[in-house]
Chains A and B, each alone.
Chain A
Amino acid sequence: MFHTNGAGGELLRIEGLHTEFATRAGTVRAVDGIDLRLRRGEILGLVGESGSGKSVTGFSIIGLLDEPGRVTAGRIVFDGQDLLAAGEPALARLRGSRIAMIFQDPMMTLNPLLRIDTQMIEAIRAHSKVGRDAAWRRARDALGLVGIPSPEERLRAYPHQFSGGMRQRVVIAIAMLHAPDLIIADEPTTALDVTIQAQILHEMQRLRREREMALIWITHDLSVVAGLADRVAVMYAGRIVEQGSVDEVLDTPEHPYTEGLIGSIPSHDAAGGALAQIPGMMPSLIDVGPGCRFRERCPRATHRCRDDDPAPRSTGGERLVSCHHPGSGR
């Protein structure tokens, strides 16, 4: 299938995205003005502490925000189409066929009462006008592709008959059924143990190479991103504080938050050494005051950081940093 742009062209552009939850306690500004770009076939790691707005960003793109979540401002342009202006039917046509999503907990992602074949065939027939038999064969091949042994048999099984890792493979197989241009993977390995996590990561990289699909890999674990992503965006309190190519960002972090995240990777320190946890807590996303959101926890904070909210600034190439005192600490 040919699209307007060839490989390497722009696939997704997010401009000034604001997503809010109007709750009783106040308006939660979960995503508070972010800009992101993604090329075809590119892997973007979206990293940040829990609660920083990574999932909400993903759900905003695919249009599946929980109530009372609303996108209040910004643009999300996918392959030339403005997703925020698109109606629900148009979005439903894109979901599963051109944009797919994988969630954190594979135990919860599949319907416990329906067989795997039912859940795969319905996904195939939602977008392809094929008969049940043809759909079944496609489902079987898809399971084989993600490394599930004896797929014919496994198609007849129920989700609870699979281990966590195998279930996540099923979910990945479903996400890949229509060879989407973009997969949003929201912490897909967080709920799995480390060996399985490595297998799934490996599998995703292999599939990505074969299929040329773009991937937004959401995680709180920078070490996962290091081996997987082309580019990384670091999220903090509803903002993207730093983004750039993986090598640049990890080798020479400009933002003190990024630096803190790198410092808290276990394998980074000498074995047995204490991890440098970032002190303090993320501020509430209700009534965010003026100034930099990270200043309370920041070793470099000055008066300027208290009054003046730093805007993203380019530090060369695609590198963007939102900090008054950027620079690598090493």
Chain B
Amino acid sequence: MTLYIVRRLLQSVLVVVIMLVLVFVGVYVIGNPVDVMVSTEADQEEFERMVRLLGLDQPLWKQILVYISNLVQGDLGRSFAFSEPALKLVVQRMPATLELVFVAMVMALATGIPLGMYTGLHPDTVPARLIMGTSIIGVSIPNFWQGLMLIFVLAVSWGLFPSGGRGELDTVFGITSSLWTADGWRHVLLPAVNLALFQCTLIIRLVRANVREIVLLDYIRFARAKGLAWRRIVFVHILKNTLVVLITVIGLQLGGLIAYSVVTETVFAWPGMGKLIIDSVYILDRPVIVAYLIVIVMLFITINLIVDVLYSVIDPRIRTARSGGD
């Protein structure tokens, strides 16, 4: 298991390096950030001073090398726009995003698993058809449109929720979050629903498909032949086997949610990493873009590791294979 984790970490370092080069080249090709940052009236001299200051007069390979050698020392550079350490900017915004993603994921799971189980166990009933029909609508409406409609109906017309921003913060057990306050919850609900809708549809379909496969398996029939209560078959035999598949998807989707929160954060003016990256892309603020991507990759890696560990907790076959292999 340890060997396995080390191997995974080395792979991730490689991913980070490749990503760094790609982003550097990408941003370099798109244009010069100084064009965007310096006002149109600035003269040539000021422009060049700025270019030198940011190190943009160096050849691209040199810029990359300097960046990487700084990176190894834990320095991800300063934002061109805010002249603050880029990593600090990203990390400051991270709790807001994680909080939003966490609430969205919990919502998606809390509704998706029961609905998926129900539709999987009773596929031909009217409620099941209704759920499946509705959930198709959930996927086919674009995310930003759903967000705008939520704001329009629930926030603007009915005034039930604020239309954007993050609520009051509080600190409990050393964790600062808006989830500790009622105002925070009022703010987080709409964007979380917006983010959760697609995931929820996905989870319903996945659980449903999985349950329909599992109920046909011999071990479920054998469980029934033992005379077990249906309740026990559903909540122990079927649910546990569904979790194996679900964990993979949660792992994949959690990363996706963090990345896709860009749209939701923009629509709901949620002050998270997604909003920061959009703003940074507009002004080609390369250090922030790279820092954001490194943080995202790190999050993905961490999530994948957790998923792998969870896997072996749930599935004994994987546990044996891994301990045997290492």
Q: Which residues of A contact B (CB under 8 A)?
A: 62, 64, 66, 92-97, 100-101, 103, 105, 108-115, 122-123, 126-127, 158, 160-161, 171, 174
Contacts and interface: CB of A to CB of B under 8 A. Distances in A.
A64 B219 contact: no
Contact of B237 (A108, A114, A171): A114
Nearest to A178: B227
Contact of B226 (A66, A108, A114, A174): A174
A127 to B, nearest CB: 6
A62 B225 contact: yes
B228 A158 contact: no
Contact of A126 (B221, B228, B244, B314): B228
Contact of A92 (B229, B240, B315, B316): B229
B224 interface: yes
Nearest to A184: B225
A95 B218 contact: no
B240 to A, nearest CB: 5
A158 B227 contact: no
Given A122-B228, A123-B228, A126-B228, A111 B223 contact: yes
A105 to B, nearest CB: 6
B316 A126 contact: no
Contacts of B237: 111, 114
B236 interface: yes
Q: How large is the interface on B (under 10, 10 to 19, 20 to 34, 35 or more residues)?
A: 20 to 34
Interface string B245-259: 000000000000000
Contact of A95 (B219, B225, B236, B317): B225
Interface in B226-279: 226-230, 232, 236-237, 240-241, 244
B227 to A, nearest CB: 3
A113 B228 contact: no
B227 A112 contact: no
A111 B219 contact: yes
B217 interface: yes
Contacts of B232: 122, 126
B9 to A, nearest CB: 29
Nearest to B314: A113
Given A114-B237, A114-B240, A64 B221 contact: yes
Contacts of A127: 227
10 contacts: A92-B224, A93-B227, A95-B225, A95-B227, A103-B222, A108-B217, A109-B222, A112-B315, A113-B241, A158-B317
Nearest to B214: A111
Contacts of A126: 226-229, 232
Most buried by B among A93, A94, A160, A161: A160
A108 B219 contact: yes
Contacts of B236: 114, 122
B39 interface: no
Contacts of A115: 316
B316 A96 contact: no
B217 A113 contact: no
B255 to A, nearest CB: 25
Nearest to B220: A111
